[in-house]
């Protein structure tokens, strides 16, 4: 089984390392696609080492000129974890300013998002509307946990646990 792990800029980015490692340990081939901002928060080298695959940040990475087309043909599922308010918004309106957002438009397989953001952001009506919109497009959304965020605020918005996300993805992979 092959999946694309999309990584957007959220404080929960460190969890994407554990997701890549856990899925790889389960025999899943993981290819990571990061937003440009996410690649400044955590080195693509780390995710490459954990996934045993090259990491993509732009459409021209690794000698290609249309990575969003090449990558979509090589995966069964696309998981964005963490999914920031920004990437969810791009998916909701069809904006494609970076490789990950372009891939969300071109990928024809199952698409999953694990939202991660400040509780006040997650509660905002625009974010709620965007999540409903992407669900209408067929995205599966793994609800965030409730608790204390890194900033100290409490409420719903912190990304679901790595264990829960991996369990959901592995259960779904068996259905494909």
Segment holding 28, helix H or strand E: none
What strands lie across the sheet with 2-7, from one edge to the other?
Answer: 55-56, 29-34, 2-7, 77-83, 110-115, 140-141
Neighbours of 90 (CB within 10 A): 23
**17 flagged as catalytic:** no
Q: Return the half-sphere exposure (C-beta side, CA atoms, 13 A cut-off) of residue 98.
A: 18
Question: Strands 77-83 and 145-148: what pairing?
Answer: unpaired
Report d(CA 127, CA 124) in Å as an integer: 5
Report d(CA 68, CA 59) in Å as an integer: 6
Report d(CA 156, CA 167) in Å as an integer: 20
Q: Which of 148, 151, 154, 163 is catalytic?
A: 151
Cis peptide preceding 82, ω within 30 of 0: yes
List, by residue number, the catalytic residues.
Answer: 151
């Amino acid at each position: 089984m092959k999946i694309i792990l999309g990584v957007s800029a959220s404080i929960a980015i460190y969890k994407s390392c554990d997701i890549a490692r856990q899925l790889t340990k389960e025999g899943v081939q993981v290819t990571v696609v990061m937003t440009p901002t996410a690649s400044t928060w955590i080195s693509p080298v780390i995710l490459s080492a954990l996934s045993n695959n090259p990491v993509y940040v732009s459409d021209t990475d690794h000698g290609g000129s249309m990575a969003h087309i090449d990558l979509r043909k090589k995966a069964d599922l696309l998981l964005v974890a963490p999914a920031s308010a920004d990437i969810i918004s791009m998916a909701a309106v069809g904006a494609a300013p970076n490789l990950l957002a372009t891939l969300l438009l071109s990928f024809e397989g199952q698409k999953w998002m694990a939202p991660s953001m400040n509780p006040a952001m997650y509660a905002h009506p625009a974010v709620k509307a965007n999540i409903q919109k992407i669900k209408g497009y067929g995205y599966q959304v793994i609800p965030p946990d409730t608790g204390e965020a890194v900033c100290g605020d409490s409420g719903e918005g912190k990304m679901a646990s790595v264990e829960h996300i991996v369990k959901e993805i592995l259960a779904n992979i068996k259905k494909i």
